[in-house]
């Protein structure tokens, strides 16, 4: 795959590090930056033969098959429309748009142009997430009742993130997009999200956007997806997921405490991990950051999908649904009420909540819980089928 990269900053460099991580046959042929000197430096650092400060020239270059969009949120729509006009496959970083309206316009543009839109939601592609999703699909934990995803850190690296007009919001749009899509993947992306309730506040920073938020997304089958996000968490980046099912539980620690700990006086001053706040004392490095965050698997899936003329696991429709959920979250944070998720073109299944058949203890009682006491004796909590009384046996 011959690739263009739009952007030369933090995330563009992460992407460049990953682009040949597994397939080892893809090539970045041109890079764009608004500042030509930044484009040249990126080209020099990654041995990219061409660089430019024109989006149109970049995406229409003859040696480009697909375009990796690593730009600020306010530039995603412009970049995707340019790709669609040039007949190139856009692979866009998260979130797809600042709003569902922007995301839907991008989705419609790529579908009209007949190109593949890949949604670069890397955390869904992390090895732990992929294995968890596979385990859930195989029935290992039964029906998912509640999925929780948490992403917190001391705040983003670039100035535009902090500008509400450019970013579209604060911690919700930046981090909540990850959490929402992870929960969707655990619950089932065919299950429709129906409403959201959210608390958000600006607790620490002199900005117009929220720097902390907690929200719950209710799905049509009764499952709940919960997100917790913060730009004021101290101590690095905390990425954790929990998935609770009728037959089991999954607990994932992706980043902060992963079993790799190191103490140093800090004399070397070297990079530790994304959003690390210190380079001395007890540190928590990540063994292979690009791989652990899912970038390698993500790009492999994207390029394989383009070559096979099929949709990647994360596509522009997923990005649109995420934006629709976040729109409802922002509205709920203002109204303090459950707000409906408005999806114009729902492509999943219509699955209503099904009441699970209760387990019988005997002909007169349902079984609520069975446990073994320290003495070895078994205890049963039961419910009378007729009277509803709760008793123990």
Range in 206-220, 288-302, 331-345 with the lowest mean pLDDT: 288-302
Domain at 2-122: CATH code: 3.40.50.720
Judged against a pLDDT cut of 90, whether residue 266 lies above it is answered with: no
Percent of the chain with pLDDT over 90: 81
Q: Which CATH architecture has domain 124-288+315-340?
A: 2-Layer Sandwich (3.30)
What value does the mean pLDDT take over residues 4-9?
97
Confidence band, pLDDT 50/70/90 cuts, at residue 255: confident
Instruction: Provide the CA 204 distance to its chain's centre, in angstroms.
Output: 24
- Cα separation, 58 vs 4, in Å, equals 7
**Quick one: 309 exposed, middle or buried, by C-beta within 10 A (0-12, 13-18, 19+)?**
exposed
Average pLDDT, the chain: 93
Confidence band, pLDDT 50/70/90 cuts, at residue 212: very high
Partnered with residue 390 across adjacent β-strands are 383
Q: Is the dihedral of CA 316, 320, 321, 326 positive or negative?
A: positive
pLDDT at 284: 76
Partnered with residue 214 across adjacent β-strands are 199, 228
What value does the mean pLDDT take over residues 79-101?
98
Judged against a pLDDT cut of 80, whether residue 6 lies above it is answered with: yes
Give start-end residues of each CATH 3.30.360.10 domain in the chain.
124-288+315-340
Q: What contacts 24+ positions apart, CB below 8 Å, involve 81-84?
A: 81/105, 81/106, 81/109, 82/55, 82/56, 83/59, 83/110, 83/113, 83/115, 84/109, 84/110, 84/112, 84/113, 84/115
pLDDT at 274: 65
Task: Check residues 268 and 376 and name the one with the higher pLDDT.
Answer: 376
- Cα separation, 39 vs 26, in Å, equals 20
Range in 13-22, 201-210, 226-235, 279-288 with the lowest mean pLDDT: 279-288
Judged against a pLDDT cut of 80, whether residue 257 lies above it is answered with: no
Contact between residue 340 and residue 195 where contact means Cβ atoms under 8 Å apart: yes
- Cα separation, 358 vs 356, in Å, equals 6
> What pLDDT, in 10s, does the model give residues 110-149?
999 999 999 999 999 999 999 999 999 999 999 999 999 9
Confidence band, pLDDT 50/70/90 cuts, at residue 21: low
């Amino acid at each position: 795959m011959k690739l263009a990269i739009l952007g030369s900053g933090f995330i563009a460099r992460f992407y460049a590090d990953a682009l040949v991580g597994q397939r080892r046959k893809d090539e970045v042929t041109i890079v764009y930056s608004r500042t030509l000197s930044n484009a040249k430096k990126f080209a020099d650092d990654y041995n990219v033969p061409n660089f430019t400060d024109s989006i149109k020239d970049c995406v229409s270059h003859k040696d480009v098959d697909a375009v990796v969009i690593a730009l600020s949120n306010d530039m995603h729509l412009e970049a995707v429309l340019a790709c669609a006009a040039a007949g190139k496959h856009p692979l866009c970083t998260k979130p797809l748009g600042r709003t569902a309206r922007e995301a839907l316009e991008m989705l419609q543009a790529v579908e009209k142009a007949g190109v593949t839109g890949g949604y670069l939601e890397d955390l869904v592609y992390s090895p732990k997430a992929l294995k968890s999703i596979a385990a859930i699909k195989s029935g290992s934990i039964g029906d998912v009742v509640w999925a929780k995803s948490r992403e917190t850190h001391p705040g983003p690296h670039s100035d535009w993130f902090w500008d509400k007009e450019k970013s579209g919001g604060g911690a919700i749009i930046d981090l909540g997009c990850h959490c929402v899509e992870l929960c969707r993947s655990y619950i089932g992306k065919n299950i429709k999200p129906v409403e959201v309730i959210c608390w958000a506040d600006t607790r620490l920073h002199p900005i117009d956007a929220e720097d902390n938020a907690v929200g719950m997304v209710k799905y049509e089958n009764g499952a709940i997806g919960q997100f917790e996000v913060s730009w004021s968490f101290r101590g690095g980046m905390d990425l954790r997921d929990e998935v609770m099912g009728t037959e089991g539980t999954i607990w994932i620690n992706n980043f902060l405490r992963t079993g790799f700990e190191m103490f140093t006086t800090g004399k070397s001053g070297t990079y530790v991990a994304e959003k690390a706040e210190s380079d001395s004392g007890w540190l928590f490095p990540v063994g292979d950051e690009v791989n652990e965050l899912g970038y390698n698997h993500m790009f492999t899936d994207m390029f394989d999908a383009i070559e096979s003329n099929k949709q990647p696991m994360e596509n522009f429709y997923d990005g649109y649904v995420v934006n629709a959920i976040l729109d409802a979250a922002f509205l709920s944070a203002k109204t303090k009420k459950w707000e409906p998720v408005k999806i114009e073109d729902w492509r999943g299944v219509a699955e209503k909540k099904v009441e699970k058949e209760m387990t019988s203890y005997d002909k007169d009682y349902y079984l609520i819980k069975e446990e073994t006491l320290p003495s070895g004796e078994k205890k049963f909590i039961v419910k009378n089928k007729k009277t509803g009384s709760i008793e123990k046996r």
